[in-house]
Amino acid sequence: MKENSKSLASMKFYIRTFGCQMNENDSERIAGILTAGGAKMSDSPEDSDLIIINTCAVREKSEEKLYSCLGRLAPLKKRKRVVIGVGGCVAQLYRSEIMERTPFVDFIIGPDNYSQLADIVHSSQEEKVVSTSWSEDFHEFPSEMTLRESDVSAYVTIMEGCNNFCSYCIVPFTRGREKFRAKENILQEIQSLADNGYLEVQLLGQNVNSYTDPESGKDFAFLLRELNRVDGIEWVRFITSHPKNLNRDIAEAMKESEKVCRQLHLPIQSGSTSVLKRMNRGYTREEYLEKIAMLRQLMPDISLSTDIIVGFPGETEDEFQDTLSMLAEVRFTNIFSFRYSPRPKTAASREKDSIPFEEKKKRLIQVQELQKKMQVEFNRSLIGRTMKVLCLGKSKKDPAVYAGRNQGYQVVNFRSQKDVTGQFVEVHIASCGPYSLVGETV
Ligand code: SF4
């Protein structure tokens, strides 16, 4: 190390995260590694010696956010001595482009390389470092080293990567093929979270439904049934499920396991079978609807959410209408909707991006307006009910109000006479908006 290089122990660090829950979990791990090395977390880049931007590559938007964030950091880098690193799938994919477009970046680190982070921070003060090697096996990360944002709800990775190669998706190129974590390690981590007061776990993976324990060959349904026996954990959720891998056994395991929340995120992407075929999703509209019917037959109160992409190459007006009719038929509790944008290396990126931007925008608005109308109707139907809510802390918008999630993963803002952060409470719902419920403790 250079004589004037800073040691980790004398540094303050700031992490900016863009992307999904996996990225948020990666940022918690990065924070844990840096804190274990003696660095202190800061909530301001100006006040930090080390800045890491951790971002995903699934959507073009995250990439744009990365470059605009780096653009804002450029003047800071000129003003003071600060180490800047880029992590996550974008780093994995665009290492050369990032170094070319933003030469002031000191290091690039891929998701499989976080264990070397402390060394990389040291070395990058002497010369630029790019560390984006792959690992074929699941890389075990010490749970106790993760600096979790919440004291009550924790992410637990059970698998990484994906073998599905949906024609629009970059994940198999950035996170590699499926790698499964040993069931015993998952159970151990969750038991230790329970022992430390955690009440909820969210299992993470690109396609959790394909989970297979590398030692016993046991599947996801088996894992859910085992998790249901962990003392102390009250709620178990998981994300993301692939409709083609969701089977009756998994649904029955959900129904039997009272700790598994009656909630499922099941990305449909399009309501048109012909578009689904071009997306290489491996199911038809009818097959998806059959799975929804099976879930609702087993768990009539299940809360369902989904992802929608509008403007996929060649999406006709009729195919788009199929998506609207699918939304109207299923009536999801919540959706995440996006305009299609071509991602490098994917099969769809070799097709002409034929739907004009304005048309994609119009379709997205139509999807969101329809969904908003249905959400308002659904949320209104909950007024007057009392429901169990896990309080996650004060609302970011109004510190006089607490915020939490109900079993269906809806946001519930509520008033309470005492601080109930980290506890389950019964909340009487008095009003609602399209995206949240409002009430008070009973
Ligand atoms: S299932 Fe498809 S959309 Fe999901 S991560 Fe895999 S390739 Fe991407």
Domains: count for the chain:
3
Within a domain: 283: yes
Nearest C-alpha neighbor of 160 from the set 247, 240, 280, 59: 240
Q: What is the pTM of this model?
A: 0.91
Residue 145: pLDDT over 70: yes
Residues 276 and 416 in one domain: no
215 domain residue, yes or no? yes
In this structure, of 9-18, 254-263, 308-317, 375-384, the range with the lowest mean pLDDT score is 9-18
Edge-to-edge strand list for the sheet holding 200-204: 153-157, 200-204, 235-239
Q: Which of 164, 170, 208, 346 to mutate to test the pocket of ligand 1 (most atoms within 8 A of CB)?
A: 164
Angle at 378 (CA atoms; ends 375, 382), nearest 5 degrees: 130
- Whether residue 11 has pLDDT greater than 80: yes
Sign of CA dihedral 306, 311, 312, 318: positive
* Residue minimizing CA distance to atom 4 of ligand 1: 206
Measure 216 CA to ligand 1 centroid, in angstroms. Answer: 25
Contact 400, 426 (CB under 8 A): no
Do 219 and 88 share a structural domain? no
Residue 308 tokens read as 């929608």
- pLDDT at 262 (0 to 100): 97
In 138-191, the DSSP E strands lie at: 153-157, 159-160, 179-180
Of 101, 131, 161, which one is at a domain's C-terminal end?
131
Cα–ligand 1 centroid distance for 166 (angstroms): 6
Mark residue 386 as left, alpha or beta (left: phi above 0; alpha: psi -120 to 50; beta: remaining): beta
223 CA to centre of ligand 1 in angstroms:
21
Does 417 fall in a domain? Answer: yes
Lookup: tokens for 20: 């999904």
CATH number of the CATH domain containing 233: 3.80.30.20
- Predicted local confidence at residue 88, as pLDDT: 86
Mean predicted confidence (pLDDT) in 159-167 = 94
215 with 286, same domain: the answer is: yes
What domain range includes position 420? 386-441
Contact 53, 77 (CB under 8 A): no
Q: Mark whether 267 and 360 lie in a shared domain.
A: yes
Q: What is the pLDDT of residue 267?
A: 97
Whether the predicted pLDDT of 376 surpasses 60: yes
CA of 169 relative to ligand 1 center, distance in Å: 6
Report the CATH number at residue 434: 2.40.50.140
pLDDT at 301: 95
Residues 121, 256 within the same domain: no
In this structure, the answer to whether residues 151 and 47 fall within a common structural domain is no
Ligand 1 first shell, C-beta below 6 A:
162, 164-166, 169, 171-172, 206-207, 242
What whole-number distance in Å separates Cα of residue 191 and Cα of residue 183?
Answer: 12
Looking at the CA of residue 206, tell me the nearest atom of ligand 1: 5
Same domain, 101 and 246: no
Task: Estimate to the nearest angstrom the gap between the alpha carbon of 69 and the chain centroid.
Answer: 20
For residue 274, the SS3 value is: helix
251-276: average pLDDT: 98
The CATH code of the domain that includes 62 is: 3.40.50.12160
Say whether both 225 and 320 belong to one domain: yes
Distance 196 CA to ligand 1 centre (A): 33
Average pLDDT over residues 264-279: 98
Q: What is the pLDDT of residues 74-97, one digit of tens each?
A: 999 888 889 999 998 878 778 888
Which range, 96-110, 158-172, 217-231, is most confident? 217-231
Q: What's the 65 CA to ligand 1 centre distance in angstroms?
A: 22
In Å, how far are 77, 207, 245, 264, 389 from 241, measured between CA atoms?
41, 5, 7, 8, 24
Tell which residue, 57, 41, 60, 58, has the closest CA to residue 49.
Answer: 41
Q: Both 252 and 333 in a single domain?
A: yes
Mutate to test the pocket of ligand 1, among 21, 167, 169, 283 (most ligand atoms within 8 A of CB): 169
pLDDT of residue 261: 98
> What does the pLDDT read at residue 295?
98
Confidence of residue 59 (pLDDT cuts 50, 70, 90): confident
Main-chain phi, psi angles of 403, to 5 degrees: -130, 145
pLDDT band at 3 (very low <50, low <70, confident <90, very high): low
Residue 4 confidence (pLDDT) above 70: no
More confident residue, 342 or 175: 342
2 in a structural domain: no
* Candidate ranges 87-96, 101-110, 136-145, 192-201; pick with highest mean pLDDT: 192-201
Same domain, 281 and 411: no
Using the predicted structure, report yes or no on whether residue 1 has a pLDDT greater than 80. no
Query: What gap in Å lies between CA 410 and CA 334, rounded to an integer?
Result: 8
Instruction: Tell me, yes or no, whether 138 lies in a domain.
Output: no
Tell me: the pLDDT tens digits for 401-438?
Answer: 999 999 999 999 999 999 999 999 999 999 999 999 99
Residue 115 has pLDDT above 80, yes or no: yes
Whether 228 and 365 map to the same domain: the answer is yes
What tens digit of pLDDT does each residue of 321-366 get? 999 999 999 999 999 999 999 998 899 999 999 999 999 999 999 9
Q: Which of 107, 131, 155 is the last residue of a domain?
A: 131
| Predicted confidence (pLDDT) at residue 233 exceeds the cutoff of 90 | yes
